[in-house]
Amino acid sequence: MSTDRGAGGTTPLTKSLLTDRLDLLRLSAADRRVSGLLVLVHLWAAAVPALTAVATGWLVAGLTGAATGRQTVSAVAWPLIAVSALLVADEILTSLGRTLEQYNAGLIDARIRRRVRRLAMAPSSMAHLEDPVFADEAARASDVGEGRVRSPGTAAVGQLRLCFRFLGALGSAAVIAVSFSPWLAVVLLVVCAVNRALIRRWWVHLAEVRDERESMRRRAEYWSDVASTGPAAKEVRLFGLHEWVVRRRTHELLAWAETIWSARREILRQQGWIALLAAIAAGSALLLPGLAAARGDLSASALMTVIVAAWGVFQIASMGREAFDIEYGLGAVRALERLNTTQHGIATSAGTDVQQAGEPSATPEEGAPATLRTEGLVFAYPGSQHRVIDGLDLTVRSGEVLALVGHNGVGKTTLIKLLSGLYLPTAGRLLVDGRPLDAAGASAWRKRVAVVFQDFNRYPLSLADNIALSAPEHRHDKEGIRAAARRAGVDVLADRSPDGYDTLLSADRTGGTDLSGGQWQRVAIARAVFAVEHGRDLLVLDEPTAHLDVHAEARFYRQVVAEVTGATVVLISHRLSTVRQADRIVLLEAGQVTEQGTHRELLDDGGEYARLFRIQAARFTDTGPRTGEKEAAR
Ligand SMILES: Nc1ncnc2c1ncn2[C@@H]1O[C@H](COP(=O)(O)OP(=O)(O)OP(=O)(O)O)[C@@H](O)[C@H]1O
C-alpha cells in the first residue's frame, strides 16, 4: 500500500467545504425514516428561536399594556402560554432529537464499520493487513479508538443539525430585520459566520494533529490491552511486569496527549479574536436597539423581540463540541475514501477476486492433486527491502510429500504463505498446475488449500465445530469429523468427555474446558485433515509436531501424512525425525533452495542437512552430547 500521503499518512482533511458537507449530509440519511423524523425535529428547533423572539415581544407588549391598564389579563395570559409552550415543546423535542441522533449515528457507524471490514477482506493477498498505514486508516475510518471521539455517524448527524441551526439563525435574523434594522441583521449574521469559520479552522487543525498521531494512540492502546487482557496476563503477572507495563502505557499516552494538548493550548491562546468578535456582535445587538428604544424609536416589546432574536443568531457562533465532531468525524469519512481508493487500486491493478475468482489459473486438473512451481520467486514484506525469498526455483510434484527445512528465519513460513496464495510475489512467478497464479486466481486457489499454521487458531467452539470449520459446508458430516479426529488423535478427548464432540473448547464459557498445547495442535491437524477429505488438494503443515509428545510425533507421519491420498503435502519441521520419511526434502538458506533430495540422498551428500541431522541424532546417543556440541559449534 502506498505511503505517499504526507505527514501522518493522511491527505489533507478538507477537499472542498461544500463537497465535504454534502458527503456528510448523504451519510446522515442512513435510514430514511429516522432521518425523516430528525429533519422534522430539527425544523422545529430551527423555528423555535424566531418564534420565541416574537412570543417574547408579544408578552412584553401584553405586560406593558396591562401595567398601563389598557389591556386585559388575557392579553398577558396568551403570550405567556405561548412562551411556556414553546419552552416545554423545545425541551421535549431536544431530548427526542438527541435520542434520534444517537440512534442514527449508531446506524451510520455500523454501516461504515461493515464497509471497512469488506475492504479489509477484499484484496486477494493479506499483505495489507500487516501494513501500518492500512491499520491506521482502518482505525480512523471505523473509530475503533478509545472514547469513540472519531465517529462518522456523529459527524453526519452534527452536520444535519448544523444546517438547521443556520436556518434558525436566518429566521431570527429575519425577525431582527422586520422588527428593527435589516443592517443589524446582516452584520450580526456576518460576524457570527466569521466567528464560526475561525473556530472551525482551529478544530480542523486539531483534527489533523490527532490524525497524524494515530499510530501513537494505537501504541498506547496496545499497552493498555497488555495490562488488562487475558493472553498477556500470564507473563505480566509471572514476571511482575504490571508496574512496568502501566508506566510504559502512561508514558505513551502522555506523549500522545501532550501533542494534542499543545495544539489545544495554541487554540486557547487565539481565543482573543473570538472574544473580540463576540463582543462586537453582542454589543451591537444590545446597544443599537437599546439606543433606539431610549430615543423612543423602538417599543419595549420590539426591543425584547430584537434581543431574543439576536440570541438566536448567536447560536451559529457557538463553541460547542459539534464543530469538533464534524471536523474530526469528517476525517473518518476521508480515511474511508482513501481506503476505498487504495484497496480498489490494489484489487483492480491485479484484477478483483469478484470479477475473476475461479479463473483457469486456479482450476484443478482432472482430479489430480496440485502441482506447484516457482520461477525466480522473490518476496519482501510490505515496507521492507529485505528479500525473504530471493529468486527461489522449486517444483512441488502432484501428490508428493515435500518437506521444507532450514534455520530459523530463512523464510519457510513465508514460502508456504506464498504457495497458499496468502501473499503475492514481489517478483517472479508461482505456477499452479502449470498456469501462473495472480491475484485473480489466488482466491479460488486458496479454496484448494488446507493449512496448519504454527500459530493455528483456537476457536471457542465445540470440538466438532473446531474440526469442521475448515469445510463448514460439510459440518453435518459427523462420520468425517470422527475420522479426522481419529487420525489426529483427538478422538480420545471426545470419548472421555460427557458431551463428546459437543464439548465446548473454551474455559471462560460456562460448561467449557480448555486443552493443552499439544491437544490443540491435534485439533488443528484434524481440521486440516477434514478439509483434505472434503476436496482440498494441497495440505500445508507448518511445524505440526512442535507441541506433540514423542509417541504422537512418531504416529503423526504414519496416521496423518502417509494417509493423505488426494493431496500434495508440504511439510515444515525443525524435528528432522518428522520429515525424514518425506518423498523429498528441501533445505532453504537465505531465501533459496540450497539442497534437495530424499533423506538418504542428503545424508550421503554430507551437506548442511546431514550436519543438522547428525546434531539432532547425536543428542539421543550415548556419545551424543559432545559430538552434537562440536557439530553445533562449527
Ligand atoms: N509480517 C512480517 N513482516 C515483516 N517481516 C517478516 C514478517 N514475518 C516474517 N518476517 C521476516 O521474514 C523472515 C522469514 O520469516 P519466516 O517466518 O518465513 O521464517 P521461518 O523460516 O519460517 O522461521 P522459523 O523456523 O523460525 O519459523 C524473518 O527474517 C522475519 O523476520
Over the stretch 575-585, which tens digit does the pLDDT of each residue have? Answer: 888 888 899 99
Is 175 near ligand 1, meaning CB less than 6 Å away?
A: no
Indicate if ligand 1 lies below 6 Å from the C-beta of 152.
no
Q: How much distance in Å is there from the Cα of 403 to the middle of ligand 1?
A: 18
- CA of residue 586 to ligand 1 center, whole Å: 18
Any atom of ligand 1 within 6 Å of the Cβ of 410 = yes
Q: What is the mean pLDDT of residues 160-185?
A: 92
Lowest mean pLDDT segment, chosen from 146-150, 262-266, 399-403: 146-150
* 407-421 residue pLDDT tens: 999 999 999 999 998
**Pairing of the two strands 584-589 and 538-542:** unpaired
Banded model confidence at residue 406, pLDDT cuts 50, 70, 90: very high
Ligand 1 binding pocket includes 385 (Cβ within 6 Å): no
Tell me: pLDDT of 512 over 70: yes
**Structure ipTM:** 0.97
Q: How many residues does the chain have?
A: 634
pLDDT band at 78 (very low <50, low <70, confident <90, very high): confident
Ligand 1 within 6 A of CB of 381: yes
How far does the centroid of ligand 1 lie from the alpha carbon of residue 150, in Å? 35
Say yes or no: CB of residue 470 within 6 Å of ligand 1: no
Residue nearest to atom 3 of ligand 1 (CA): 381
Give the torsion through C-alpha atoms of 318, 322, 327, 328, to 10 deg: 140
Q: Which atom of ligand 1 lies closest to the CA of 454? A: 27
Q: What is the mean pLDDT of residues 359-370?
A: 57
CA of 384 to the centre of ligand 1 (A): 12
Better-predicted residue by pLDDT, 555 or 3? 555
Pocket flag, ligand 1, residue 388 (CB < 6 Å): yes
Give the atom of ligand 1 at the shortest distance from the alpha carbon of 384: 4
> Are the CB atoms for 438 and 499 separated by under 8 Å?
no
Of the candidates 493, 473, 497, 472, the one whose C-alpha atom is nearest the C-alpha of residue 482 is 493
Query: Which band of pLDDT confidence, cut at 50, 70 and 90, is reported for residue 207?
Result: confident
Going from the Cα of 411 to the center of ligand 1, the distance in angstroms, rounded, reads 6
Dist. CA 472–CA 619, nearest whole Å? 43
The total of other beta-carbon atoms located within 10 Å of residue 283's CB is 10
Cβ pair 450, 539 in contact under 8 A = yes
Model confidence pLDDT, tens digit, residues 214-272: 778 878 888 888 877 766 777 777 777 888 888 888 998 899 889 889 888 888 887 77
Beta carbon of 68 within 6 Å of any ligand 1 atom: no
Q: Is the CB–ligand 1 distance for residue 584 below 6 Å?
A: no
Mutate to test the pocket of ligand 1, among 126, 385, 407, 410 (most ligand atoms within 8 A of CB): 410
Written as nine digits, the cell of 589 is 538458506
Q: Atom 23 in ligand 1: which residue has the minimum CA distance?
A: 409
- For ligand 1, the distance from its centroid to the CA atom of residue 413, given in whole angstroms, is 7
Angle between helices 74-121 and 132-142 (to 10 degrees): 160
Distance from Cα 175 to the centre of ligand 1, integer Å:
71
Name the residue of 128, 133, 389, 412 whose CB sits within 8 Å of the most ligand 1 atoms, as the mutation to test its pocket: 412
Q: 294: which residues sit within 8 A by CB, 6+ positions away?
A: none
Amino acid identity, position 149: V
Given a cut of 60, whether residue 181 has pLDDT beyond it is: yes
Q: Is there an atom of ligand 1 within 6 Å of 575 CB?
A: no
Strands across the sheet containing 387-396: 387-396, 372-380, 427-432, 435-436
561 DSSP assignment: I
Residue identifier of the C-alpha nearest atom 28 of ligand 1? 409
Nearest CA, atom 17, ligand 1: 413
The pLDDT-based confidence of 14 (bands split at 50, 70, 90) is very low
Dist. CA 378 → ligand 1 center (Å):
14
Q: What pLDDT does 564 receive?
A: 84
In this structure, of 52-56, 118-122, 311-315, 515-519, the range with the lowest mean pLDDT score is 118-122
Using an 8 Å Cβ cutoff, are 530 and 484 in contact? yes
Q: Whose CA is nearest to atom 25 of ligand 1?
A: 408
Q: Say yes or no: CB of residue 411 within 6 Å of ligand 1.
A: yes
* Spatial distance between the Cα atoms of 560 and 595, rounded to a whole number of angstroms: 26
**Percent residues over pLDDT 70 in the chain:** 86
130 lines ligand 1 (CB under 6 A): yes
* 556, pLDDT greater than 60: yes
Asked whether residue 366 carries a pLDDT value surpassing 80, the answer given is no
Distance 126 CA to ligand 1 centre (A): 15
413 lines ligand 1 (CB under 6 A): yes
Q: What pLDDT, on the 0 to 100 scale, is given for residue 170?
A: 94
Q: Report whether 534 contacts 505 (CB < 8 A).
A: no
Residue from 129, 130, 413, 588 whose mutation best tests the ligand 1 pocket (most atoms within 8 A of CB): 413
Share of the chain above pLDDT 90, in %: 30
Closest atom of ligand 1 to CA, residue 130: 1
Q: How far is the CA of 410 from the centre of ligand 1 (A)?
A: 7
